[in-house]
Structure 1
Amino acid sequence: MAVESRFVVIRDGVEVQTFMDKKAADEYDKMLDMADNLSAMLSDAPIELSEQLIEDLSIFLAQRREEVLIALQAKKAKPAGKTLPSTDEAAPVKASGKAKTTSKAKAGSSAASEDETLPQAS
């Protein structure tokens, strides 16, 4: 006989969702608490919103709480991918001959593309 643990989120006496992981159930419950708080705030707003719109908007904002905090400048965005090198490490790369060659190559290629583009435009 197998034994399974399930974690059920219940709101207002209704089973909302079942999870196999306690952490996931707690996170979902916390998100619903935030949505309830946002719903109360939006209900008091001076603009007229339907009940369904308030519920949908509250859940949307609660699910994206990190993005909302960043948008409100309450939290800094995490850098995507690799971390950027410090300015001391970046300076030699910018001053290298490769960077100059790249600049010349870009200038040459843009001039070439202008020549190629002009006959096609005429």
Structure 2
Amino acid sequence: MAVITKFVVVREGVEKMTFTSKKEADAYDKMLDIADQLTPFLTRSELELDDNTCEKLSFYLAQNKEHLLSLLKGVVPSEQKAVKKTAKKAEPKK
């Protein structure tokens, strides 16, 4: 018989996700915390988002926080840098 340890992320009595490592479960739980904090922030905006769209947007932003942070800092993500370099090389010289 095998013993399997599972880490379950539970929010408001509802199982959200199951992981095999504590590190992954903690990261997901933290991401959900960020999404929960973003929802009221977005609700206060002038965007007139319905509740469902606001929750989806909060979840998306929380999932992509590293990319979002670099954009807010004004750092061009590496994939965009590569596209710009390729575009410059492809331009004909005058």
TM range, smaller chain: 0.7 to 0.9
Q: Equivalents in 1 of 2:76, 2:13: separation in Å?
A: 38
Q: Equivalents in 2 of 1:56, 1:40: separation in Å?
A: 13
Give me the TM-score of the superposition, normalised by structure 2. Answer: 0.76
Q: Equivalents in 2 of 1:77, 1:66: separation in Å?
A: 12
Gap regions ≥5 residues in structure 2? 80-91
1:59 aligns with 2:59: yes
- 8 Å contact from structure 2 (residues 8, 16) kept in 1: yes
Q: CA RMSD in A?
A: 2.1
Gap regions ≥5 residues in structure 1? 81-105, 108-122
Q: Give the equivalent residue in structure 2 for 1:10.
A: 10
Higher Rg: 1
Deviant stretches of 4+, over 3 Å: 76-80
Q: Give the equivalent residue in structure 1 for 2:84.
A: none
Give me the TM-score of the superposition, normalised by structure 1. Answer: 0.60
- 8 Å contact from structure 2 (residues 7, 22) kept in 1: yes
Work out the number of aligned pairs and report it.
81
Task: Percent identity, please.
Answer: 46
Q: Give the equivalent residue in structure 1 for 2:41.
A: 41
1:3-58 superposed Cα distances (whole Å, 9 cap, x missing partner): 11000000111001100111111111010000001111011112311011001100
1:46-76 superposed Cα distances (whole Å, 9 cap, x missing partner): 23110110011001100110111111117x5
- The structure whose RCO (Cα within 8 Å, separation 6+) is larger is 2
